[in-house]
Amino acid sequence: MPQSFHNLYTHDFVRVAVAVPRCRVADPLYNAQQTIALAEQVAAKGAILAAFPELGLSAYTCDDLFHQRALLDAVQVALGNIVEASIRIPVTMIVGMPLRVDHRLFNCAVVVHGGRILGVVPKIYLPNYNEFYEVRQFSSADDAVATEIELLGQRVPFGADLLFQAANLPLLRFHTEICEDVWVPIPPSSYAALAGATVLVNLSASNIVVGKSDYRHQLVGQQSGRCMAAYLYSSAGRGESSTDLSWDGQALIYENGELLAESERFQDDSHVIFADVDLERLSRDRMRTNTWGDSMRRHAQQVAAFRVVKFAVELPVQDALPLQRSVARYPYVPANPAVRDKRCMEVYSIQVQALVQRMGAIGMKKVVIGISGGLDSTHALLVCAKAMDRLDLPRTNILAYTMPGFATSTRTLEQARKLMEFVGCTAHEIDIRPSCIQMLKDIGHPYSEGAEQYDVTFENVQAGERTSHLFRLANHHNGIVIGTGDLSELALGWCTYGVGDHMSHYNVNASVPKTLISHLVRWVAESRQFGEGDSQVLLDVVNTEISPELVPGKANDTAPAQSTQSVIGPYELQDFNLYYTLRFGFAPAKVAFLALHAWKDRSSGAWPEDAHVVRNQYTLKDIKQNLGIFLRRFFQSQFKRTCVPNAPKVGSGGSLSPRGDWRAPSDAESVVWMENLKTVPDA
């Protein structure tokens, strides 16, 4: 069956659901009807896995009615109705029910798919404290003797050691536990995850008391994070007995510690939540985390004890099925303003702390920095200023140099002057044109004879002269050169190798992407990090065209003539490509699929809170073209990344230091990545 690029299942996502049906106590047929109705809704949305509440077919609050044969027989009839309905509903359903096995009663999760009962999982930990009295009615899975049972005429695996594997979706392996099982110090799902389960399911009833909802979030979120798994959590809602308790029907879906979906609590009607789980992301996190493998080895006995039940799922892959999860356009920059401010504060503090440590370790009290009037050098200067404050040194110990060249605009030159005044550093200005002309003469470049030849040599002579001046100035004044180039430029090779902006004594910006630097500078201005002085110059820098300013323009020189992004692509797209390539190792086709979802037209805009954010839109053709630029430049410029200066890592999105997150050969081929990119359609 051909798979559509625009279908989430093509890219190793799976749509899952948690359903909370309205129930009636001790009315299994009614409860089965509600379950089937919700399963039909789940299938209509393209989801293939749905979890329902603990003991949902009978209701959790039956108490001693669980020992009544009439109820237990009726529950089996209700299960039969669900099994029959599953023939026409392409959803794997996990439903809760009481079940008699070997003269004992177990609280069970039953996995139903395609007219089959795939397995029955009994609850291990039975709470018998506070309002819970489960030991009165049920036996623990630890007391079970049988490993297979007869149920509705089918021979069915039975036990808490079952994993369920989708044969035609290899990354989907799920495990089921029941309520209290996740509240204990070592939940059964911890071992199940080590045994390969990527989706963990909890059928819970869970009455509500004050504060319990928040604790569920902590519990489920932490378990999904520790297990690098998705976690589906259900609880009982309207219809359970209110004799002594109340029920809020909370449903949660987490992925590796991140909340994907949550239901509204205290609803009167049946309800269901959906989420698209990225199975590849979970698998890749486990693969690269070597301590995950160490844990598998350490608990090899528990891991080996699991039995795997394989089944084939019906995947709706032939038609378009877009994602229903949020994909941030700016993965390095939180959309929420409060979270973004906190992130900026932390990143800024990491950079400052690193520079303070480096200066203290080498006994230097002065720094030398080049100021262009652009984003990167502005932020690096702000870091230097705060570091001097932390070291109780005067900001005049920052020796800042602006070095206008052949293409420096009046706008950036004035911004550089104002920035140095704003910070209070020692400001200098060196015109590099005479030394550049001498260099061009020495090497016989046509520009020295009057020709307008603005080639890479012409550009790099200027970049090299600036860096050469800075290093000699550092020697002369007993200081260190602070690098200003950022992570995005390093990824794209947008730096002059060796004697150029590629080199410094210490680079405070090397793992900060361009999209984040613009917000850092804005945050410094708006949060008054430097007091109540006029910080308009910082906002002016943010709003200036990003440019190397190495090639003169034909018109006036009031603004930068060159546009960096016209050559290497929009930084907002290239940072997106960098994040998903570096952090997760996704293939280009998946990166493009995610980018299309992130950048598709949204009536509300990307960040409706921020008037200053330009809400650009990109077609799939745009995304494919710029991803091609990214891949070519990323591979071609690896040699520049094998010898970069020391720099602090600031985020989990990674760095490109050969001593840190990224070790790669300089002569690797990009062929397989470019071939994969060809599978992306133009529309």
Tell me the catalytic residues: 54, 123, 179
What is the C-alpha to C-alpha distance for residues 280 and 198, in angstroms, rounded to an integer? 10
Residue type for 208, please? I
Is 171 annotated in some ligand binding site?
no
* Alpha-carbon dihedral 351, 357, 361, 362, rounded to 10 degrees: 30
> Which amino acid appears at position 325 of this protein?
R
Q: Is 436 annotated as a binding residue?
A: no
Annotated binding residue at 448? no
The tokens describing 652, both together, are 């989990």
Strand partners, 113: 116
Nearest to 595 by CA among 625, 623, 630: 623
Which candidate, 51, 120, 44, places its Cα nearest to that of 89? 44
> Would you say 500 is a known binding-site residue?
no
Q: What is the spatial distance between Cα 329 and Cα 568, in angstroms, rounded to a whole number?
A: 18
207 is in an annotated binding site: no
First to last CA, the chain: 21
Q: Is 212 annotated as a binding residue?
A: yes
| Residue 460 annotated as part of some ligand binding site | yes
Rounded Cα–Cα distance for residues 352 and 370 (Å): 18
Phi, psi of 36 (to 5 degrees): -65, -40
376 known member of a binding site: yes
Token pair in block for residue 499? 């004697």
Q: Give 106's strand partners.
A: 99, 139
Phi, psi of 84 (to 5 degrees): -65, -40
206 is in an annotated binding site: yes
The answer to whether the annotation marks 373 as part of a ligand binding site is yes
The answer to whether 626 is a known ligand-binding residue is: no
Residue 371, annotated as binding a ligand: yes
370 is in an annotated binding site: yes
DSSP H/E element including 346: helix 337-362
**147 labeled binding residue:** no
Q: Where are the alpha helices (DSSP H) in 208-326?
A: 212-226, 279-288, 290-298, 300-304
Whole-angstrom distance, CA of residue 279 vs CA of residue 49: 14
Is 640 labelled as part of a ligand binding site? yes
Judge whether 391 is annotated as a binding position.
no
Q: Which residues, 6 or more positions from 380, have their beta carbon under 8 angstroms from its beta carbon?
A: 369, 482, 483, 484, 508, 509
Q: Is 577 annotated as a binding residue?
A: no
Residue 113: which region, alpha, beta or left (left: phi > 0; alpha: psi -120 to 50)?
Answer: beta
**Are 327 and 594 in contact, with CB atoms under 8 Å apart?**
yes
DSSP letter string, 75-120: HHHHHHHHHHHTTTS--EEEEEEEEEETTEEEEEEEEEETTEEEEE
Residues at the annotated binding site for L-glutamine? Answer: 129, 206, 212
Instruction: Give the annotated binding-site residues for deamido-NAD(+).
Output: 460, 489, 494-497, 640
| Known binding-site positions for ATP | 370-377, 484
Residues forming the annotated binding site?
A: 129, 206, 212, 370-377, 460, 484, 489, 494-497, 640
